[in-house]
Amino acid sequence: MNEPFLYRRRIQFAETDMAGIVHFSRYFRFMEEAEHAWWRAAGLSIAPADPAQGWPRVAAAFNYKRPLRFEDEFTVAARITGVSRRTIQYGFEMRRDDTFVGHGTITVACVTVSADGVMISVDVPEGVVERLRGVQTGPASDDRATGP
């Protein structure tokens, strides 16, 4: 599937700094929110109640091009940009209407946790990548995006 998964959102006041611009760290949360919405849309959970595996972030980056401000509505387009036996890399692009805001990546590793609390890298379960790729572009959004 070449089409991205789309996640729509609105900036909240608490996400801005003294200059009225979204704090740089929030963009990583926006990418993660889009990832979680994507997993839900695929009928999956990144953190089920009784997890057989976990998905820690092993790399993350974001390139900022234009700022977001309080009450801006924006879209996060998410794609799978790389898959290995034990990792999935996502690519994200953020836009406010036709304005390119920036792009980033997150790489997650599939792990299990041993009885003594040690994380052990394991293969990505069969079907996870296919289910994510099979989700059609949709109007996923944060409830805050459509509030009063």
Contacts of 116 (CB under 8 A, 6+ apart): none
Regarding the domain with residue range 5-146, which homologous superfamily does it belong to in the CATH classification? Answer: Hotdog Thioesterase (3.10.129.10)
pLDDT at 145: 44
CA–CA gap between residue 111 and residue 95 (Å, rounded): 32
Which residues are catalytically annotated? 17
Domain ranges of the chain: 5-146
Task: Kindly give the confidence (pLDDT) of every residue in the chain, 148 residues in length, as a single tens digit, with 9 standing for 90 and above.
Answer: 478 999 999 999 999 999 999 999 999 999 999 999 999 999 999 988 777 889 999 999 999 999 999 999 999 999 999 999 999 999 999 999 999 999 999 999 999 988 888 899 999 999 999 999 998 555 555 544 444 3
Q: Which of 141, 136, 131 is nearest to 45 (CA)?
A: 131
Which residue type occupies 46? I
pTM: 0.88
**Of 137, 114, 109, 107, nearest to 125 (Cα)?**
109
Q: How far apart are CA 30 and CA 101, in angstroms?
A: 12
